[in-house]
């Protein structure tokens, strides 16, 4: 998967990508810069060391070939549904360690409430509709897939 930049509704969607390399918070923040925005809301999803009471040692993300297009569609939808000036989202693929950023996303809006709401909608819709699957590795040697059909 290669990272790609999209320009959707009125150039609101500034950055959309799937990356095997570590994600850079500064890249997302830079993409959200807009003179009309009084608020930038960021969400960083990280790999945690546990899930449902079990120790996690790492995980891997696998993206369907259509994941980039689905992610772009979700971003365009959020841009149409909320009064935001900018949207940016990057999602990791490949193997990640505890503490690594799995997803970094954000929105810029005139007011914080709109930015909060748009970012929440963005991560929720991404998790619901973008075909990216997580393979968790547990401390006891077991493994499981999350988000597969």
Per-residue pLDDT, averaged over 13-29, amounts to 97
Q: Write down the residue that tokens 């696998």 correspond to.
A: 62
Instruction: Decide: 134 and 57 in contact? Cβ < 8 Å.
Output: no
- Cα 32 from Cα 5, distance rounded (Å): 13
pLDDT tens track for 117-146: 999 999 999 999 999 999 999 999 999 998
According to DSSP, residue 4 is labeled: B
Q: What is the mean pLDDT of the chain?
A: 93
Is the model's pTM score more than 0.85?
yes
- Domain 9-47+64-132 falls in which CATH fold? Aldehyde Oxidoreductase; domain 3 (3.90.1170)
- The domain segmentation of the chain, as residue ranges, is 9-47+64-132
pLDDT tens track for 83-108: 999 999 999 999 999 999 999 999 99
Instruction: Decide: 67 and 132 in contact? Cβ < 8 Å.
Output: yes
- Cα 79 from Cα 75, distance rounded (Å): 6
H or E element, residue 48: none
């Amino acid at each position: 998967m290669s990272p790609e930049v999209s320009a959707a509704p009125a150039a609101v969607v500034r950055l959309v990508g799937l990356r095997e390399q570590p994600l850079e918070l500064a890249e997302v923040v830079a993409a959200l810069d807009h003179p009309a925005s009084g608020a930038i809301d960021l969400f960083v999803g990280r790999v945690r060391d546990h899930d449902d009471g079990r120790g996690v040692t790492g995980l891997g993300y696998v993206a369907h070939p259509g994941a980039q297009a689905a992610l772009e569609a979700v971003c365009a939808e959020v841009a149409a549904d909320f009064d935001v000036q900018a949207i940016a989202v990057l999602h990791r693929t490949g193997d990640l360690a505890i503490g690594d950023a799995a997803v970094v996303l954000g929105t810029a809006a005139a007011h914080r409430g709109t930015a909060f709401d748009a970012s929440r909608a963005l991560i929720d819709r991404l998790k619901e509709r973008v075909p990216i699957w997580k393979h968790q590795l547990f401390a006891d040697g077991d493994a499981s897939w999350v988000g597969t059909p």
